[in-house]
Chains A and B, each alone.
Chain A
Amino acid sequence: MGEIGPLLSQLFHTGRDWAAGHGVPPLGAQILMMAVQVGIIILSISLVPMVLVYAERKVAGFMQGRLGPMEVGPFGILQTLADGIKLIFKEDVIPRGADRWVHIVAPIVACAPAFVCFAPVPFGKGMTLVDLDTSVLFIFAVSGISVIGILMGGWGSGNKFSMLGGLRGAAQAVSYEIPRVLSVVPLLMFYGTQSLRGIAVAQQARWLGVLPKWFIFYPVIGQISFVIFLICSVAETNRTPFDIAEAESELVAGFHTEFGGIKFALFFLAEYAYVFLASAMAVALFFGGGDGVILPGGLIPSWIWFLGKTFMIVFMFLWFRWTFPRMRVDQLMSFCWKFLLPWSFVNIALTGAWILWRAHS
């Protein structure tokens, strides 16, 4: 009941046959349907940051003993919409000393990969846009492109301090990408496939009928890889306690200080899209995607389960932001190279031992 996954894919096939039937060449119909699917994903993904920004300000408010936005719309729901409109109409200023082209293209390069990464994410039963066989590697590769966006942002702002901020941000993102990829390797070893949908489906089984066989519940390897993945995702999205890139109180101004209006909105959109992406991946990899916890997934459709679990992890991102102070640059780097990386190697070794033991018994 409520499973709109198969319904949607059914809709796309009928749409294509209908278009093919009405004189549109089969190739054109296929491209048309692809365009419709991509359009739906881009629309829904661009809605998500609106919700996340609102959630962040509300959570921040409640954590600090205040209410958060209450003015625009009931309980401040339209606040993000108002911010968005305000940002769109801000004057578009390009600093004179800056490199014009790089300044204009930087927010696009920082924001576009965020949408592409949502293709292989399994939102529910049958709701994976493109079930790539190498979806995990694909997501890490494409999200690496936005680091180039950060560098371009630093270079495109023209002043030396933003460039330093951009370099620091890029160095942090690149060095935290390695433990992040290595923390997902145990999963690939365990389930033998890289496709997120495959991993999510493989976790639908139950231990002793009650405990769901999610990877997070595997005794040691599950928790270690989840914690490392979460920490690295926080670092990858430049959020506290790793937000040195746009640290206001630090000496070096952040890389996107020179971007006003819609360009700043794009950087903002990218950050929240990546937070949502990281949570969606964490749910697909560690919490069994659209798998219902108590009810056998029948009563509540799988995509509602998926979104619920994703917002649970998004809440952890927001929670970190309002409780942790900021780490210093060198502490942050040594934490990555001297703590997270060795532990991810240990985790891979443990998973290997587990698989060998399982193979023998």
Chain B
Amino acid sequence: MSETSVPTSAPETFPQKPPEKGMFISLGPQHPSTHGVLRVAITADGEVVTSAQPDVGYLHRATEKLAEKRTYPQIIVLTDRLDYLAAMTNNWSYCLAVEKMLAVAIPERADLLRIIVGELQRIASHCVFLGTYGIDIGAFTPFLIAFGRERERILDLFEEICGARLTYNYIRIGGVMADSPDGWEARVRTFVKEMYGRVDEYDTLLTYNPIFMDRTKNIGTMTAEMAVAWGITGPNLRATGFKADVRKDDPYSLYSQFKFDIPVGKQGDCWERYWVRVQEMRESLKIIEQALDALKPGETMGKLPKVYRVPVGEGYGHLEAPRGDLGFYIISDGTPSPYRMHIRAPSFINLQVLQTLLKGWKVADVIAILGSIDIVLGEVDR
């Protein structure tokens, strides 16, 4: 039903006029369940989708071109707005790339703070996924519980440590902006303890709900070869049974010291993609606990000159963002601003699989499959 081959020829022009057989549905860009401004041109023959063509670019802000006109520290502000649901990991990935080129040493406390804040961000981002996916399938309560109650607690913690709730700008090149206020670790620890119970609550509320399983089990199945062929990363890839996580494969900062396992699905259907993200929340909680134990007072900012020049050459830094392998490729020509910066956005690449994944499924399943891929348009359009 969904061949694994990656299309070599350019996809056919956008089906604007309705096909002679069947119906043409333009889903989006103002549609409640496309998580932002995405248009998918779907042609359906009766109830079955015959072709789907994602049409992106509605949220393009030329971030990469802007970066060429700003100095390195100023670009951190740009990266916040890429995946606006996980700004922390965007900053971190950019800083990893620049630090690799500058080869500056990061103090241990800064690295631990980065891990704690990064994993908290992953939980918050998965909470948003949980809420919006529940609404796509028709259940309203998980949205208010996951999005409302849990994410608010995490945003309060972020507000204490860096003053912002969405665009944090907390992780800087060489370390972190500020040390954590006193009592912050204790509050994170209590939150983590409570959160274990909350994640079990999601299982009873949605994960093992028979109607939810009918709507998502064996729907939009994706084989491991197809996922690898399309370059998919993150929970969508792990749901197909292919075990790939940057934190384990190419461990950055101090992840190699922590013990946590990578949840892996079996058949890569919508339910498994959802299930993998819920398990990941539990793993992140373990990591945060271990990081909190290892936290010792110390420096939070590496030794860096006031105005520094990145040596000529190129650098690539990437990490496991909530939506996949987020990487920054920077070419520097010695001037204070990069010559060229390219962002490997996982959502943009995960989105391409829709062309083959949606084919052959019912029109009613399109929303379930689209929601399970969990894309954020800020990252797709950059």
The reply to whether A and B meet directly (CB within 8 Å) is yes
> What is B's interface to A at a CB cutoff of 8 Å?
25, 27, 32-33, 42, 47, 134-141, 144-145, 148-149, 205-206, 209, 211-212, 214-215, 362-367
Known: A325-B139, A326-B138, A330-B362. A241 touches B211 (CB 8 A): yes
Cross-chain contact of A251 among B25, B137, B141, B145 (Cβ < 8 A): B25
Give, as a whole number of angstroms, the nearest-CB distance from B213 to chain A: 10
CB closest residue in chain B, given A324 = B211
Query: A241 — which chain B residues lie within 8 A by C-beta?
Result: 138, 211
Residues of B within 8 A of A323 (CB): 139, 141, 205
Q: List 15 A-B contacts (CB under 8 A).
A: A65-B149, A66-B144, A249-B367, A251-B42, A323-B141, A325-B139, A325-B209, A325-B211, A326-B138, A327-B211, A328-B215, A329-B364, A330-B362, A330-B364, A331-B215
CB-contacts of A285-334 with B (<8 A): 322-331
Q: Which residues on B sit within 8 Å (CB–CB) of A322?
A: 140-141
Per DSSP, chain A at the interface is loop
List of B residues within 8 angstroms of A98 by Cβ: none
B138 touches A240 (CB 8 A): yes
A236 beta carbon closer than 8 Å to chain B: no
A64 with B141, Cβ < 8 A, contacts A324-B209, A324-B211, A331-B214 known: yes
Contact A243 to B138, CB < 8 A, known contacts A325-B211, A328-B364, A331-B214: yes
Name the B residues within 8 Å of A329 (CB-CB).
364
- Render A218-247 as a binary contact track against B, CB cut-off 8 A, 1 for contact: 000000000000000000000011010001
Cβ of A99 within 8 Å of any chain B Cβ, yes or no, is no
Q: Pick from A240, A248, A324, A326: contact of B32, CB below 8 A.
A: A248
Q: Which of B42, B144, B145, B206 has the most chain A CB within a 10 Å cutoff?
A: B144
A64 partner, pick from B138, B140, B363, beta carbons under 8 A: B140
Residues of A within 8 A of B (CB-CB), count: 23
* CB <8 Å contact, B366 and A251: yes
Q: Give Cα A251–Cα B365 distance, bound, in whole angstroms.
A: 10
Residues of A within 8 A of B47 (CB): 330
Sort A-B residue pairs by CB-CB distance and give the 5 closest, nearest first: A326-B138, A64-B144, A325-B139, A249-B33, A325-B137
Measured between beta carbons, the chain A residues less than 8 angstroms from B205 are 323
Residue of B with least CB distance to A247: B138
Residues of chain B lying within 8 A (CB to CB) of residue A247 = 138
Interface status of A171 (Cβ within 8 A of chain B): no
**CA A324 to CA B47, docked complex, whole Å:** 24
Bound together, the chains give a CA A69 to CA B353 distance in angstroms of 43
Which B residues are in CB contact (< 8 Å) with A8? none
Of residues 227 through 285 on chain A, the ones whose CB sits less than 8 Å from some CB of chain B are: 240-241, 243, 247-251
Asked if A63 is an interface residue, CB under 8 A from chain B, the answer is yes
Contact B144 A325 (CB under 8 A): no
On whether the beta carbons of B206 and A325 are closer than 8 Å, the reply is yes
Set of chain B residues within 8 Å of A324, measured between Cβ atoms: 138-139, 209, 211
A325 to B138, CA, bound (A): 4
Least CB distance, B185 to chain A, in whole angstroms: 26
The contact of A65 among B135, B144, B364, B365, by CB within 8 Å, is: B144
Minimum distance in angstroms from A104 CB to a CB of chain B: 28
Interfacial chain A residues near B135, Cβ < 8 Å: 249
Tell whether, in the assembled complex, residue B364 and residue A250 are in contact, meaning their CB atoms are under 8 Å apart. yes
